[in-house]
Amino acid sequence: MSATGDTHVQDDHDVHHHKETFVTKYIFSQDHKMIAKQYLITGVIIMGIIGILMSLMIRMQIAWPEQPNVIFESLLGKWAPGGVMDADIYLALVTIHGTIMVFFVLTAGLSGTFSNLLIPLQIGARDMASGFLNMISYWLFFLSCVFMIASFFVEAGPAAAGWTIYPPLSALPLAQGGSGMGMTLWLVSMAIFIASSLLGSLNYIVTVINLRTKGMSMTRLPLTIWAFFVTAIIGVISFPVLLSAALLLIMDRSFGTSFFLSDIFIQGEVLHYQGGSPVLFEHLFWFLGHPEVYIVLLPALGITSEIIATNSRKPIFGYRAMVASILAIAFLSTIVWGHHMFISGMNPFLGSVFTFTTLLIAIPSAVKAFNYITTLWKGNLQMNPAMLFSIGLVSTFITGGLTGIILGDSALDINVHDTYFVVAHFHLVMGISALYGVFAGIYHWFPKMFGRMMNKNLGYLHFWVTAVCAYGVFFPMHFIGMAGLPRRYYTNSNFPLFDDTTNAQLVITMFALVGGVVQIVFLYNFISSIFYGKKAEQNPWKSNTLEWTAPVKHMHGNWPGEIPHVYRWSYDYSKPGHDDDFVPQNVPMKEGEEELHH
């Protein structure tokens, strides 16, 4: 059945009017709203739970190294004999935690959910440009999740070379158990993932360019759409490079080529590899890897822009500067990858160049932060949970971003490279910030997705405990890093030099455990609200964007009758001359009303 059987879509767009079965509606759906929900459940919720559980196990191992733990015993089975975590599985946890959080939760989960949900709804389109490609994109993603999880069940364990899988460690099963079948599955999973991501991104780009409704000029696009659009472009530019790196690595591993390997003597034998260089892999990896940070971050910032404006009842401050800074960040993000490689052995002169470009990125980032703060100024702030997470995002974005000034400086990087300082930095600036973006988006668009409201008090509890724990975990971690403690150490007990950080490690683990447990509150709120939440009104947050002009009940084609036309930008909040403190985009200009600089 069609979602609303009697509505006829009479528009320029395709008429979706075939019979829907359970399978086509819920499983092989081509409807962008359903695909968004599928991404949300698979990418954010399920993979998120797995990724967070791993991080908690990592933290427990660091706080109580080599001690028996019932949790390890029950979750890790043979890799925790007697409940004591094995050193190999520790590295595997670190690796898969990073992979899952960066790629599956914060790339596919975040973009997949919100780009899919919001792009058609906010630009006034019936659906994505290609519903079929969209469906393929999701199912490829699902497949890649299956492969990644499956790697936990192979004999020698999952990939354990770090999420950056630098060869030769990742290329030689002789170097590490996880570099056997586990790494093969990792590479296959990522190759499928990249295919999924490319199909999704192409779809987003085409949809934004071609399917905007009448009046929706690029300069009237909500910042969410700008962010998703630019993110998709960065993805299309950079993900293929990772794919080629992965393919070359597969060849080195299985077909005896020497792209990344040379002069290796391991376990008593000289291997045949000659002439390759691991540094080449690092270049290829980070050519994706650094833009990837912004693929994770920009959608979160876009979501934040929308939520902060709506809940401040004010226009976002400096719309054009915000768009310009998104574009500047996107451009710069592709020429800074070398700051991950200052001490990789590449020419020091290159280090100077990358220091320069890297610190430039601080400028558009600073503009964004100041614009958010100014948007709050003299607002009428509605402290909904989504708003709290957005403010929290700005806070962690600043705290985490500032330490980037240290790490981006090649000279200073010498001494903090690969220490806990780095762990603290990137978790705050891209991990926690992007996660806050996901949470903010879920709280804000839950009514749009499920037609019901989430419980706000649970939302408050969720935010405040999470916010305190996030700082509690990652702020002291900077100092541990400055004490010189390298990351990815299974235990620090072989270095009495670092004994004075053990108490801080314990405190951090406590914060992490509480922060992890409080996510159960969110999970409960999320699931119970889907079924028992208060029924949502059409436009609960009194927002201007087009998705709130669509009926609460989902239908194929999004709007009954004609697609709304757009007459203004999406930020006419508290505009003088209007009775309400919001003016939706589909309200025509009054006579003599001025449109702001568009």
Partner 1 sequence: MTALLTILIVLFVAVAIWQMVKIFNLAQVGASNSQIADDNDNRINGYLMLGFLVFIYGITIVSFIYLGDQPLISNSASEHGPGLDNLLIISFVVIFIVQIITQFLLHYFAYKYKGEKGKKALFYADNNTLEAIWTGIPVIVLAGLIIYGLFTWNDIMTVDEQKDPMIVELYAQQFNWKARYGGDDNVLGKANVRLIDLDNANILGVDESDPNAQDDVIVTELHLPVGKPILFKMRSQDVLHSAYMPHFRAQMNCVPGMVTQFAFTPTVTTAEMRQNPDIQNKVKNINELRVERQAEIEEAGQDLLYEFDYLLLCNKICGKSHYNMQMKIVVETQEEFDAWIKEQKTFENSLLN
Q: Which of residues 23-82 bind partner 1 (CB under 8 A)?
A: 60, 63-64, 67-71
Q: Which is nearer to partner 1, 15 or 411 (CB)?
A: 411
What mask, x for binding partner 1 by CB under 8 A, covers residues 326 to 345?
-----------------xxx
Going by the DSSP 8-state scheme, the letter that residue 563 receives in this structure is P
Q: Name residues contacting partner 1, limited to 544-573 (CB under 8 A).
A: 571, 573
Size of the site for partner 1 (CB under 8 A): 153
Q: Which is nearer to partner 1, 135 or 429 (CB)?
A: 429
Does residue 235 contact residue 198 with C-beta atoms inside 8 Å?
A: yes
Q: Name residues contacting partner 1, limited to 433-492 (CB under 8 A).
A: 453-458, 460-461, 464-465, 467-468, 471-472, 475-476, 478-480, 482-484, 486, 488-492
For residues 527 and 66, give the distance between their C-alpha atoms in angstroms, rounded to a whole number.
Answer: 36
Q: Name residues contacting partner 1, limited to 252-291 (CB under 8 A).
A: 261-266, 268, 270, 275-279
Terminal CA-CA length for the chain: 42
What mask, x for binding partner 1 by CB under 8 A, covers residues 504 to 523?
x----xx--xx--xx-xx--
Does residue 189 contact residue 154 with C-beta atoms inside 8 Å?
A: no
Q: Which residue in this structure is represented by tokens 């094995």?
A: 86
Provide, rounded to whole angstroms, the least separation between the CB of residue 405 and partner 1.
Answer: 6
Q: Name residues contacting partner 1, limited to 414-433 (CB under 8 A).
A: 414-419
Provide, rounded to whole angstroms, the least separation between the CB of residue 464 and partner 1.
Answer: 6
In sign, the C-alpha dihedral spanning 97, 101, 103, 105 is positive
For residues 585 and 216, give the distance between their C-alpha atoms in angstroms, rounded to a whole number.
Answer: 9
For residues 7 and 17, give the distance between their C-alpha atoms in angstroms, rounded to a whole number.
Answer: 10
Does residue 25 contact residue 78 with C-beta atoms inside 8 Å?
A: no
Q: Which is nearer to partner 1, 166 or 331 (CB)?
A: 166
Q: Which is nearer to partner 1, 89 or 202 (CB)?
A: 89
Q: Which residue from 75, 406, 523, 530 is in contact with partner 1, where contact means CB under 8 A?
A: 406
* Residues in CB range of 108: below 8 A, 6 or more apart: 39, 43, 141, 193, 196, 197, 200
Q: Name residues contacting partner 1, limited to 175-234 (CB under 8 A).
A: 175-177
* Binding span for partner 1 by CB under 8 A among 33-41, 128-136, 385-393, 551-559: 385-393
Which amino acid would we find at residue 9? V
Of 199, 417, 411, 219, give the one whose Cα is nearest residue 324: 219
User: Cα-flanking dihedrals φ and ψ of residue 582, to 5°?
Assistant: -145, 150
Provide, rounded to whole angstroms, the least separation between the CB of residue 168 and partner 1.
Answer: 5
Q: Name residues contacting partner 1, limited to 351-370 (CB under 8 A).
A: 351-352, 355-356, 359-360, 362-363, 366-367, 369-370
For residues 302 and 297, give the distance between their C-alpha atoms in angstroms, rounded to a whole number.
Answer: 9
Helix axes 278-312, 110-123, angle to 10 degrees: 50
Q: Name residues contacting partner 1, limited to 129-168 (CB under 8 A).
A: 161-162, 166-168
Q: Does 410 help bind partner 1 (rule: CB under 8 A)?
A: yes
Q: Which is nearer to partner 1, 236 or 279 (CB)?
A: 279
Tokens of 7: 């509505």
Q: Which is nearer to partner 1, 21 or 274 (CB)?
A: 274
Residues in the chain, total: 598
Provide, rounded to whole angstroms, the least separation between the CB of residue 502 and partner 1.
Answer: 7
Q: Which is nearer to partner 1, 201 or 505 (CB)?
A: 505
Long-range pairs for 362-367 at CB < 8 Å and ≥24 separation? 362/401, 362/404, 362/405, 362/408, 363/328, 364/324, 364/325, 364/326, 364/328, 364/329, 364/332, 365/325, 365/329, 365/397, 365/401, 367/318, 367/321, 367/322, 367/325
Q: Name residues contacting partner 1, limited to 105-134 (CB under 8 A).
A: none
Instruction: Please count the CA atoms within 13 angstroms of the CA of 378 that sit on its side-chain side.
Output: 4
Q: Which is nearer to partner 1, 11 or 418 (CB)?
A: 418
Q: Which is nearer to partner 1, 133 or 458 (CB)?
A: 458
Provide, rounded to whole angstroms, the least separation between the CB of residue 460 and partner 1.
Answer: 7
Provide, rounded to whole angstroms, the least separation between the CB of residue 26 and partner 1.
Answer: 26
